[in-house]
Amino acid sequence: MTESHIPHPRIAEREKTGMHQIRRAETLDLNNRIALFISSRFGTMWAFYALLLWMLGWVVLATAGIGLFRNDPYPFTFLLFLSNIVQLLALPVLAVGQQILSRASDKQAEQTYKDAEAMLKLQDEVHRLLKVNNELTEEIHKSVINR
């Protein structure tokens, strides 16, 4: 038997490229880095808690008529205005950040697909070698019995 092991080309390719990570920002320009930074920070529960505390504080102060709200007949109008401005500014940045993360996810899915494809080919090769091994074992068995 002269079967020699030839490593699958995907192994060498994977060693060169490594795992795709969005955290490797060398391929991102400054705008994309900023969008990714804001998306990863703004899209957390801590950001939600901070905004919730800010709004609850505003409501409590406005209801009690403390500080800036002492003579304001419509204390919640400015709160709604600020909330809308923050949302309008955050939406495009979050959309760009999500695009970047989506592209990274697609690259990871492609890597996973290529790895699975290579594993299937290797599995097929193992089955072929097992079949050859079984045939050789049967030939040896027959030759030993026929002696």
Please name which of 53, 56, 34 lies closest in space to residue 45, comparing C-alpha atoms: 53
How many whole angstroms separate alpha carbon 77 and alpha carbon 59?
A: 11
pTM: 0.55
pLDDT in tens, 34-67: 888 888 888 789 988 998 898 888 888 888 877 7
| Count of other CB atoms within 10 angstroms of residue 111 | 17
Q: What angle do CA 101, 113, 29 make, to 5 degrees?
A: 30
Domain assignment of residue 44, yes or no: yes
Domain assignment of residue 47, yes or no: yes
Q: What share of the chain is helix, strand, coil (3-state, %, to 5)?
A: 80, 0, 20
Q: 26 falls in which pLDDT band (50, 70, 90)?
A: low
Residue 81's domain comprises 22-145
Q: Looking at residue 22, what is its pLDDT?
A: 64
Using the predicted structure, report yes or no on whether residue 85 has a pLDDT greater than 80: yes
Count how many domains the chain has.
1
Domain assignment of residue 16, yes or no: no
Domain assignment of residue 27, yes or no: yes
Interval 75-100 mean pLDDT = 84
Domain assignment of residue 5, yes or no: no
Q: Looking at residue 138, what is its pLDDT?
A: 93
Say which residues have a Cβ less than 8 Å from residue 69's Cβ, sequence separation at least 6: 61, 62, 75
Interval 127-143 mean pLDDT = 92
Domain assignment of residue 62, yes or no: yes
Using the predicted structure, report yes or no on whether residue 99 has a pLDDT greater than 70: yes
Which pair of tokens denotes residue 46? Answer: 């801590």
Q: Looking at residue 4, what is its pLDDT?
A: 73
Higher pLDDT, 140 or 75: 140
Q: Name the one residue in this structure whose structure tokens are 């804001």.
A: 38
Domain assignment of residue 135, yes or no: yes
Q: Are the C-beta atoms of residues 123 and 130 closer than 8 Å to each other?
A: no
Domain assignment of residue 11, yes or no: no
